Structure 1
Amino acid sequence: MQPTFVLVHGAFANSFSFAPLQAELGLLGHRSVAVDLPGHGFGAGYPRAYQAPQDLAGLATEPGSIRGVTLADNAAHLIGLLERAREHGPVILVAHSRGGITATAAANARPDLIDRVVYVAAWCPVDLDVADYYAEPEMATVDAASLGLAMAGNPADLGLLRVNFRTSDPAALAALKAAFLADGTDQEFLAFLNTFQPDENLDVGTCADRAQAATWGTIPKTYVRLAGDASLPLALQDRLIREGDTLTPDNPYDVRTLEGSHLRWLIDPAPAARLLGEVAALTAPST
């Protein structure tokens, strides 16, 4: 029976990010569903101060509707969609970037709903909590200070992360492009930037949400390395793979590699769609 790809977006993103990939998957004969996690997509909050002309002082203080959304909320929402998709056959859960945290939490809770989990340069914490990886050597190349140029407000006060993706600050825009789409044109970069939403929830989980061998570890898994990724560096991707393989040595990652930056695979999705088709051919439904 044909599997369904369930696609989970990363931070500040939404299901819209996957439209080109879904088109390619559909043309190859594959079924897919793109998820909007709580507070994303048409459920996102856009502060009035974010609109032009921007009120930067207001943007730093205006409340956001995603405040209080937790990883548990994201996982519960995803599990509900996985239950529906599973009624129609095998499910391949595909997560990008921060979406890997939610995918891992769902896999910990309901491995019976997932026939394979695919991480595309995505977080799958094993040895540390997500926040702690940022202090590790593998993340040393990430220029957090420059990325912070587009931050709006104090996350502790707002109860959320807020980034002004509509900034005209050349330094902030250059830092964002270098981190996410260094191999893209300026027009591609600005087009993708305008699909992002300004607010993201704070909760990235604790040690209880790391990959668990008894549940997550029973699911066949693939890790797709993005070789030119500057925001989730290849060294960190490889570390996450090693940690997962150590946790479940009898069920190691099927490792694949795509060239390009953090967002290139979504803008030019044909290679990724072909790769996912190959992964689907490996996937048998769980019993």
Structure 2
Amino acid sequence: MTDHTRRGVLRTAAATGALAAGALAAAPGANAAPNGGGHGGHRPPTYVFVHGANSSAGGWAPYMRELTLLGHRTLAVDLPGHGPDAYFPVAYQAPQDLEALKTEPSPLGKVTLDDYTDHVVEVVRRARRNGPVILVGQSQGGLTVNRVGNAVPELLDRIAYVAAFCPVKLPTLLDYLKAPEAKDSLAFTIPGIAAAPGLGITRANWRSGDPDFLAKLKAATAADYPDAAFRALINSLEPDETAGIAMTDARVDAATWGRIPRTYIRFSEDRMIPPALQDRMIAEADALTPRNRFTVRTVKAPHVGPYRRAPLVSALAELARGIA
């Protein structure tokens, strides 16, 4: 891997924390038939949420709470190496050893997109025993949604992408960030830690007090957030992410993924995955399966999601309509 590519992957992963991590800081058809897993089609669907890079299931909590209070059934997945199993380097603790932080190994160096996929497939399989399933991914989590949709379309009643990557023609996340439609992305402007290439990870120092880092990260991910909310956001993130995810082929399969009803929730103020890039992925998917096109909704929000949650809660609640 070249230094340029490694820096690109680092900055991408370091800045694509999950949507709901931002929310923690915020103020108040041709598809397999939705047969409810053999329950007569009368049980409510279960939302299964997949987080983005450097985040965890806990990031989705504010949205799960609101959806549950509306009568929906929800759960969020901790991808392998995240949540309770996250690795926080010794050098990450204060006082930080920034040189050691560049070389300290991480278990995430051995985790792959296949591991993420297998884990979510098992969760979906278990959830399906109770009725229909809606699988939702944000940001990098869209890669896992693609893979799960390719593998087990018969278990999914709808898939949804929340300002998420959805590779169709190009193989990888990194390929899309190099596309012309990504020219306005700020992903590559964010300073990061030059983790040793042999570690197999990207590493971000969310505890940094460097004004340049904080200003560029905020501009890319949460430009309209109050500073206090932004600090809460980044302190909910995990430092390590597996580097290979952004360079792994995650293209959809028209014969399997293409059968599942799907929704794309665009973020109109996203500076990580600009609207033009979101629209490209939507258009490519619709061209691949013209008889099963994306339902598209737009929420005014930066990459981490809206500071006020109600518009996104409404868009998520809509996913369950007609599924029972």
TM-score (norm 2): 0.84
Aligned to 2:284: 243
Which range moved further: 207-216 or 34-43?
Answer: 207-216
SS of residue paired to 2:108: coil
User: Are residues 71 and 97 of structure 1, via their aligned partners in 2, closer, same or farther at CA, if it must alter by over 3 Å?
Assistant: same
For residues 206 and 248 of structure 2, what CA distance do their matches in structure 1 show? 31
Range that drifts further, 130-139 or 114-123: 130-139
Shift in Å, 1:193: 0.3
Task: Tell me, yes or no, if the aligned pair for 2:200 and 2:244 is still in contact at 8 Å.
Answer: no
Deviation at 1:213, TM superposition (A): 0.2
Contact 1:71 1:205 in 2 (8 A): no
Structure 1's unaligned 5+ residue stretches are none
Partner of 2:128: 86
CA RMSD of aligned residues (A): 1.4
Letter matched to residue 61 of structure 2: A
C-alpha separation in 2, matches of 1:133 and 1:278: 28
Matched, 1:134 2:173: no
The 3 A distance-change label for structure 1 pair 269 and 47 is: same
Contact 2:134 2:159 in 1 (8 A): yes
State the match for 2:222 in structure 1. 181
CA contact (8 A) 2:174 2:247 kept: no
Q: What residue is the counterpart of 1:146 in the other structure? A: 189
Query: Displacement, 1:207?
Result: 7.6
How far is 1:275 from its partner?
Answer: 1.5
What is the alpha-carbon distance in structure 1 between the residues aligned to residue 302 and residue 196 of structure 2? Answer: 27
SS in 2 for 1:66: helix
Show the 5 A alignment for 1:93-242: 93-129=135-171, 130-147=173-190, 149=191, 151-154=192-195, 156-204=197-245, 209-242=250-283
How much has 1:201 moved relative to structure 2? 0.7
Task: Specify the alignment match of 1:269 in structure 2.
Answer: 309
Task: Provide the residue aligned with 1:17 in structure 2.
Answer: 59
The runs of at least 4 aligned residues of structure 1 exceeding 4 Å deviation read 205-208
Q: Provide, for residues 148-199 of structure 1, a one-character-per-residue CA deviation record: whole Å limited to 9, x for no partner.
A: x1x2233523210101111110000011101110011001111010110000
Quote how far apart the aligned CAs of 1:137 are: 1.2
How far did residue 264 of structure 1 move?
Answer: 2.7
Aligned to 2:48: 6
TM-score (norm 1): 0.94
Moved more, 131-140 or 33-42: 131-140
Identical aligned residues as a percent = 47
Count of residue pairs brought into register by the alignment: 281
What amino acid is aligned across from residue 271 of structure 1 in structure 2? P
